[in-house]
Amino acid sequence: MSNPKRLEILNIIKDKEVTVNEISEILGARKSNTSQHLAYLRYVGVVVARRSGKNIFYKLVDPKLVEPCKILNQIKINKFI
């Protein structure tokens, strides 16, 4: 992951579908910035989107991606300890 925010997004959506607004709130980031990260994650095929009314829900394409996300997150945490 070239951007740590993308890893954070993957960790947020690993267990459930989440909207851009929810992700932005959790990250403390602007919605436009979060949307750009999600667009990239969709482009590389890691994330899919589903529209429901005015909301777009994002989730991981494959639940097997959760474990590598956990490992990457642990590496990131250990780097700063």
- Which domains does the chain possess? 4-79 (1.10.10.10)
What does the alpha-carbon distance between residue 35 and residue 22 come to, in Å, rounded to a whole number? 11
pLDDT of 11: 85
Chain centroid to Cα 72, Å, comes to 13
Q: Which one-letter DSSP state was computed for residue 23?
A: H
Give yes or no for residue 21 having a pLDDT over 70: yes
What does the alpha-carbon distance between residue 10 and residue 53 come to, in Å, rounded to a whole number? 23
pLDDT of 8: 87
pLDDT of 78: 66
